[in-house]
Amino acid sequence: MVQSYIFTSTSFVESALDIIGFLIHLIVLGIVLGLFVWLAAKALGAPKATYYHGIITVISAVILGDIISYLIPGWFGTIVELVVVLLLIKHFFGVGWLKAVVIAILAVIIAIIITALLALIGFAFLGSALKGLIPGY
């Protein structure tokens, strides 16, 4: 029996959808995470702290991180990715190594705080929405 290998892995439509999904992923990450990186850089007084630089930093970090994790798997790849992210922050915001590290850490802290605040707001709305639905509440 002869087997055709033309459509055995992924078809053209599935590949196109993967690419479209990746582009949507990049845009959303750039907009959301770029805000956190920009706020951290602005708080530390980076000379080139603009929202645009935050978006470009995040998009570049995602693309290069995917390439690096594909080429260099494991812990060493993770360390290389971290250094590349710090290099991107250093380049796009015009800061030194120490300030790049602090911007990265502060961006994570800002993201955690904003996420927690949004979760609390969501729980408050959920509690008020369920007030009449749950007996005794």
> Is 83 inside any structural domain?
yes
The whole-number pLDDT of residue 114 equals: 92
> Is 108 inside any structural domain?
yes
Number of domains in the chain: 1
> Is 136 inside any structural domain?
no
pLDDT in tens, 47-105: 888 899 999 999 999 999 989 999 988 899 999 999 999 999 999 999 999 999 999 99
> Is 50 inside any structural domain?
yes
**Could you tell me the two tokens for 42?**
């602005």
Residue 36: domain span = 12-130
> Is 2 inside any structural domain?
no
Angle at CA 133, nearest 5°, toward 131 and 134? 80
**Could you tell me the two tokens for 22?**
């990746």
> Is 28 inside any structural domain?
yes
Q: Distance between CA 29 and CA 114 in Å, rounded?
A: 15
> Is 126 inside any structural domain?
yes
> Is 135 inside any structural domain?
no
